[in-house]
Amino acid sequence: MWKPLHPLYNVYRRWFGRYTLDDPRPIQREAPYTYYLPTVVRLESIQAGDRVQLLFRSEPHGLKYGIERMWVEVEAVTGDDLKGKLLNKPFDMPQLKVGSRIAFKRYNAIDISSDRELPPDSPQVKQYWDRCIVDKCVLYDSVPVYYIYREEPDMAQPDDKDPDSGWRIRGDYRHISDDELEARKASYIALGKVLNADDSWLHLIDSPIGSAFMRNFETGEYEPYERSVSDED
């Protein structure tokens, strides 16, 4: 059996390795607030001469990368079946090289570039890259959002690409002790990451600084909450 550290592994991959193209749509369904794809209008507009970015998965697995994003120049279009040539030099896929012929479907494209004017990418999708502080259990343990409030942003640094939104998000803590709540870890992360896990509060995301809401699990509604000093983190 071939192992990733075998000295002849890449020789084997060069001659016998293959690749597949990932379908990005399931990824987008799992992370709709952080993984954005071209609209159907743009996908349908792809024509010869355009450049599209695809997700290449190495078979067998690469030494360093399992998947690489690479650009392909479209040369032929037949309905939803497209063909083109690879424009990038792969980092870790010796079975591919610049100029390799690639066959793919429209839905494989995760980005489109063209020298012509592309159709408007509408409807415009709002993106949620501003940062917030959230309990990690919301992100990784499926604990539902319970208490949210928005304070004056104070975490952002001058060179940050995305600012602090001021949102602070706590997972359900109705049935745990104060010590367990205190022991929870938090992340400073994009709002979209939180929405991927629980978007039940999306309709409140533009609420002004000073807003606070507590989730009523019986009604499913977020009710205004009067914060006190003891609520401060």
Over the stretch 19-55, which tens digit does the pLDDT of each residue have? 999 999 999 999 999 999 999 999 999 999 999 999 9
Domain-wise residue ranges, the chain: 9-113, 131-231
Nearest to 42 by CA among 97, 122, 101, 99: 122
Please count the other Cβ atoms lying within 10 Å of the Cβ belonging to residue 224: 10
CA dist., res. 164 & res. 176, Å (int): 29
Structure tokens at 11: 């020789």
Q: Percent of the chain having pLDDT more than 90?
A: 74
* Mean pLDDT of the chain, nearest integer: 90
Residue range 57-78: mean pLDDT, rounded = 89
Nearest to 38 by CA among 48, 21, 24: 24
Asked if residue 129 has pLDDT above 70, the reply is yes
Asked if residue 230 has pLDDT above 60, the reply is no
Residue 32: CB partners within 8 Å, gap ≥ 6? Answer: 195, 196
Pairing, β 186-190 against β 51-59:
unpaired
Structure tokens at 78: 């037949």
AA letter at 57: R
Q: Percent of the chain having pLDDT more than 70?
A: 91
pLDDT in tens, 182-194: 999 999 999 999 9
pLDDT in tens, 131-178: 999 999 999 999 999 999 999 998 767 777 899 999 999 999 999 999
What's the whole-model pTM score? 0.78
